[in-house]
Amino acid sequence: MSNPRANPVANPEPGPCGPGAGGRLEPDDAAGGVRPRKSKAGPWRALVLVLVHVAIALHVAHWWNTGSTLSPLEPSESMEFSKQGVVNAGAIFFAITILSTSLFGRFFCGWACHLVAVQDACRWILEKLGVRPRPVRLGVLGLVPWILCVYMFFAPLIFRALNGLELGVSEVNLSTNFFWKTFPGWAMASTTLVVCGGLLIYFLGAKGFCTYGCPYGALFGIADQFAPLRIRVTDACNGCGHCTAVCTSNVRVHQEVRDWKSVVDPGCMKCLDCVSVCPTDALYVGFGAPALLTSAAKPAAASPSGPGRDYRQVLLQAGFLWASFALLLFHGGEFDGTFAVWLAVIALAIALVFSGKSRRVGGPSFREELLLAALFLAGLYAFRGYRLFPGVEEGVPLLLAAGLAVLGAHIGLLVLRLCSRPDVTLQWHVLVRGGRWTRSGLGFVALALPFALLFGDGVRVQLREDLEHARAASRRQEDQAAARAVYDRGVARAAADDIGGAIAAFEEAVRLWPEFLPARENLAGAYCAAGRFTEGIAQFRAALAVNPADAATHLLLGRALEESGDLAGAEAEWLETLRLDPGQREAHLGLARVLGRRGDRDGARRHREAAQR
């Protein structure tokens, strides 16, 4: 029986399930079968990551003891700037890390990210258990981090720009009294760590979440392409592959330095293990041309996939981007097909420019990529907002939903291959050999079944809720149409001086459509015309609660208050009317009357003159 670990680079099985799918050399597979020496950078990086978590704990403790502290130094906090122009400590921190990455590369990801620490810890545990996670190529799903990044950080800015809203800074707020406000609860936080820091590592290799789910890494990957500080190589390199064997960023370092004389892959997180283990000390960190301006040392590296571009792949990517954005917008109740197209075009353009120059080994076929895209979209639809635990009202947050969707897509592809291929492996487990399922294959199906049931239940729940929303929307449309008809009847009754009939019609219109402001305002006016000032004033105030910037309603409320004898209230409403619309003549005349009755002749005169003007 052949050993599936034997020479995985020489005979790679195409696709994300084969031994050479990730193209990563394992320690035992390096040149001559010599294991790489132990990395000296690893312990230092582990120490730094521990200190980062100590700093996080001290930050939380400060808030716990004082009730107020610096807002979380978390990249997701910068969404407040994208949505409302609020600059907080997280936004400043994110900007600094992006700037530093554009100069020095992705050192922050490798040396300071808390989720990278969780992934590394999971990988370390698995390796202690004898399981060495290997990277998997999932083709089009490599766009998922960029989709999440554009949706979280760029979509709100684009929406504000298209609607003529200000894009500048509206507020600077560096402290908070509600530290956990934007974080998930313990149940979802723990599940996120298990899925994104654990399961994705086992199924997709070290840094699996970074590769297929991290929205911040998408921006860091772009910034890295501008960084002049990179891992470079001297002529002492003998191509032994030790660097690739120890790389946990899923980078084929030995090919990168051979083809480009530096590591140009935007996924490189500068862990420095490759530099540390090089037996000839040929690798070093140095300044030079950034990845965007690096020329290929070997002509074949410039066009690894042959001449021209695969336009089927471009169309698949464009369609996947649009469908993902449409689904995300639909979930938020903001679905706009045109807006989704804008987001997809922008995302695709930037992704094509900054996709990196590194060559990827293996990967799914085009048809399999179609399946992966469809399963991911179904998973995102099923899991986002899904209430995963009984008794816990909090739904699945976006990043966890994306991780579950990627995991579900990969499992679905494996199941398809179990039924269609004679040989299938998952990491080092042989699931099918010679067309016969192994015990590992049967065990995988047994474990995949509960996940499939959860997947299906999520789709069922979301469909049921969407159907309920659709029915409610249909009922609202019917009620609104009926309200308009009743409102028109009320207007006709009022024109015929049938105040009682008008009140009845307007009351019915408001009952059918509480947000129908013309009906509510006319009802208020009809109440006042009938001498029912208390009810009329209440209706005017209800209308202003929906639209507080309506100067005409403030004017009418002032009249009702004046007629009811509340001169101070009338004065306040007319002053607000003039603040919203300085050209309101009736408000000036009303203020002149109120001030005259109070004895303020000069003030009354000024407002009468303003009314005349």
Mark out the alpha helices in 365-429 (DSSP H runs).
366-383, 398-420
Q: Which two tokens stand for residue 237?
A: 């390199």
Is pLDDT above 90 for 608?
no
Residue linked to tokens 């922008």? 346
Summarize pLDDT for 120-150 with one digit per residue, the tens: 999 889 888 888 888 888 989 999 998 999 9
Give the residue among 419, 389, 386 at the shortest CA–CA distance from 405.
386
Amino acid at 35: R
Q: Classify 262 as helix, strand or coil.
A: strand
Give the mean pLDDT of 274-300: 87
Beta bridge partners of 87: 172
Give the residue among 259, 27, 313, 332 at the shortest CA–CA distance from 142.
313
**What's the CATH number for 548-613?**
1.25.40.10
Measured between alpha carbons, how far is 607 from 103 in angstroms, rounded to an integer? Answer: 63
Give the residue among 184, 187, 55, 193 at the shortest CA–CA distance from 121.
193
Low-confidence winner among 201-210, 335-344, 536-545 (lowest mean pLDDT): 335-344
Q: Read off φ and ψ for residue 431, nearest 5 degrees.
A: -90, -40
Measured between alpha carbons, how far is 137 from 280 in angstroms, rounded to an integer? Answer: 30
pLDDT at 68: 92
Domain boundaries, the chain: 27-437, 548-613
Give the mean pLDDT of 93-106: 95
Work out the pLDDT band at 403, boundaries 50, 70, 90: very high
Work out the pLDDT band at 198, boundaries 50, 70, 90: confident
Transcribe 170-233 into DSSP letters: -EE--EES-TTTTS--HHHHHHHHHIIIIIHHHHH-TTHHHHHT-HHHHHHHHHHTT-SEEEEE
Work out the pLDDT band at 14, boundaries 50, 70, 90: very low
Q: Which two tokens stand for residue 158?
A: 């684009």
Give the mean pLDDT of 190-208: 90
Give the mean pLDDT of 596-610: 84
pLDDT over 70, % of the chain = 90
> Whole-prediction pTM value?
0.79
Measured between alpha carbons, how far is 354 from 349 in angstroms, rounded to an integer? Answer: 9
Q: Specify whether the CB–CB gap between 13 and 423 falls below 8 A.
A: yes
pLDDT at 183: 85
Summarize pLDDT for 206-238 with one digit per residue, the tens: 899 999 999 999 899 999 999 999 999 999 999
Is pLDDT above 80 for 20?
no
Give the residue among 238, 250, 244, 230 at the shortest CA–CA distance from 281.
238
Q: Which two tokens stand for residue 522?
A: 């006319």
Measured between alpha carbons, how far is 494 from 483 in angstroms, rounded to an integer? Answer: 16
Measured between alpha carbons, how far is 256 from 222 in angstroms, rounded to an integer? Answer: 18
Give the mean pLDDT of 438-456: 92
Summarize pLDDT for 545-567 with one digit per residue, the tens: 888 888 888 888 888 888 888 88
Summarize pLDDT for 51-80 with one digit per residue, the tens: 999 999 999 999 999 999 999 999 999 999
Measured between alpha carbons, how far is 254 from 257 in angstroms, rounded to an integer? Answer: 6
